[in-house]
């Protein structure tokens, strides 16, 4: 019997035994299962009128004859399998599954809709890999311990990385998440910024907070931060640490030098995963320093367990004009490079 089910029997005198089954919905978004205003739950009740069906938070309680419960449970299992893979199911398809007797109906549909939901966020929001290269990031992360994700702004590399980290934490694959990035950008030094340390570094780390806000309810995120289950800190704070049983993200890695990125990569413990993101078009280092990211990707290109994914303007998920803006700048950069060669 599946772990999501518990069952018990009630025997009444001179009557057939009645069975109770509790079905846990913790692996899916309950709103997607029950429907708006319990619309899908009502459909389920009509399909099995001889059963008493009650919803209790993230649980579904079935009461009735054993053969009726078994039939309902098979259909519900198909629905849960689909939701676990895809995150959303239309009311029409919900009815199709309940009305059909052939499991191939859902198998065929699931094959056409690969699993791209990473996290169920607050208020029923689903976070998923939306583009082909974002999906490649997910696959590469599942198969490797270190992943380099390189691409321009707006391609969702940081957002996807944070979603993968949150998924790993929720699935208890890691005990904590560590998000870090170089804290010196755009020529500014922390020593000359006003305020205490948190006030100084928070503006640089804001994109990481924003991503987390989309994926974890505010009260739970506050708890994770207070217990350091989720830690957001500048890269300098990684020195001297061993980061184990953790999912670590180094964001804006194009702004690291050779020593910094080597320091980060050698902090990773035996039971950890790491994603390094960077945008080669947004290097904010002083002119006399070169980015350590590109040397690192070259040196580590053929090491087993380290993957490299490149994202481009086709992966841009911001305003429709952002893609055109990136293309225009790329064309201009290519033209400038050709002019320099010719001069």
The pLDDT tens digits for 221-257 are 889 999 999 998 888 888 888 889 999 999 999 999 9
Read off the pLDDT of residues 7-30 as tens digits, 9 standing for 90 and up: 554 444 445 578 889 998 888 888
Residues sharing a CB contact under 8 Å with residue 168, sequence separation 6 or more, in sequence order: 174, 177, 247, 273
- Give the residue carrying structure tokens 């309680």: 61
Q: What is the mean pLDDT of the chain?
A: 81
Is the pLDDT confidence value at 101 over 60? Answer: no
Q: Is 37 left (phi over 0), alpha (psi -120 to 50) or beta?
A: left
Which CATH number applies to 5-115: 3.40.50.800, 3.40.1190.20, 3.30.1370.10, 3.10.20.310? 3.30.1370.10
Distance CA 64, CA 70 (A): 10
User: What whole-number percentage of the chain has pLDDT above 70?
Assistant: 81
**Under CATH, domain 118-342 is a member of which superfamily?**
P-loop containing nucleotide triphosphate hydrolases (3.40.50.300)
Ranges 42-51, 140-149, 285-294, 332-341, most confident:
140-149
pLDDT at position 283: 86
- Confidence at 93, pLDDT banded by 50, 70, 90: confident
pLDDT at position 15: 52
Any idea where the domains of the chain sit in the sequence?
5-115, 118-342
Read off the pLDDT of residues 182-200 as tens digits, 9 standing for 90 and up: 875 434 445 544 555 556 6
pLDDT at position 185: 47
CB 60 within 8 A of CB 114: no
pLDDT at position 210: 87
β-pairing verdict for 176-181 and 230-234: parallel
Its sign, for the CA torsion 184, 257, 254, 306, is: negative
Lowest mean pLDDT among 107-121, 203-217, 227-241, 326-340: 107-121
Q: Is 141 left (phi over 0), alpha (psi -120 to 50) or beta?
A: alpha
Distance CA 249, CA 178 (A): 6
pLDDT at position 114: 44
Is the pLDDT confidence value at 77 over 80? Answer: yes
**In the chain, which residue ranges form alpha helices assigned H by DSSP?**
30-34, 39-47, 66-86, 91-99, 104-112, 132-143, 157-170, 197-215, 218-226, 258-265, 292-299, 320-342
pLDDT at position 194: 52
Lowest mean pLDDT among 44-58, 118-132, 201-215, 304-318: 118-132
């Amino acid at each position: 019997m599946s772990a999501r089910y518990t069952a018990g029997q009630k025997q009444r005198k001179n009557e057939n035994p009645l069975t109770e089954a509790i079905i846990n919905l913790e692996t899916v978004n309950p709103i997607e299962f029950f429907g708006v205003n319990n619309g899908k739950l009502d459909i389920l009740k009509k399909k099995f009128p001889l059963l008493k069906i009650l919803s209790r938070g993230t649980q579904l309680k079935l009461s009735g004859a054993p053969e009726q419960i078994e039939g309902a449970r098979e259909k519900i299992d198909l629905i849960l399998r689909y939701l676990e893979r895809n995150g959303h199911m239309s009311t029409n398809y919900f009815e199709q599954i309940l009305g059909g007797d052939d499991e191939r109906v859902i198998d065929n549909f699931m094959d056409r809709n690969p699993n791209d939901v990473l996290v169920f966020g607050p208020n029923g929001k689903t976070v998923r890999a939306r583009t082909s290269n974002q999906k490649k990031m997910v696959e590469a992360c599942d198969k490797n311990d270190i992943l380099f994700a390189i691409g321009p702004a707006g391609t969702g590399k940081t957002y996807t990385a944070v979603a993968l980290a949150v998924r790993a934490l929720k699935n208890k694959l890691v005990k904590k998440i560590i998000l870090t990035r170089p804290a010196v950008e755009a020529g500014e030094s922390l020593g000359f910024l006003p305020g205490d340390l948190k006030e100084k570094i928070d503006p640089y780390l804001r994109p990481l907070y924003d991503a987390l806000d989309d994926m974890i309810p505010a009260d739970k995120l506050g708890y994770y931060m207070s217990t350091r289950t989720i830690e957001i800190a500048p890269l300098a704070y990684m020195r001297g640490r061993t980061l184990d049983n953790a999912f670590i993200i180094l964001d804006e890695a194009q702004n690291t030098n050779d020593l910094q990125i080597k320091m980060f990569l050698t902090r990773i413990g035996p039971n950890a995963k790491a994603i390094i993101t960077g945008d080669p078009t947004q290097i904010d280092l002083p002119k006399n320093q070169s980015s350590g990211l590109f040397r690192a990707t070259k040196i580590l290109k053929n090491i087993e367990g380290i993957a490299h994914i490149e994202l481009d303007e086709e992966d841009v998920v911001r305003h429709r004009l952002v893609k055109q803006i990136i293309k225009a700048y790329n064309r201009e950069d290519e033209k400038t490079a050709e002019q320099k060669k010719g001069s």
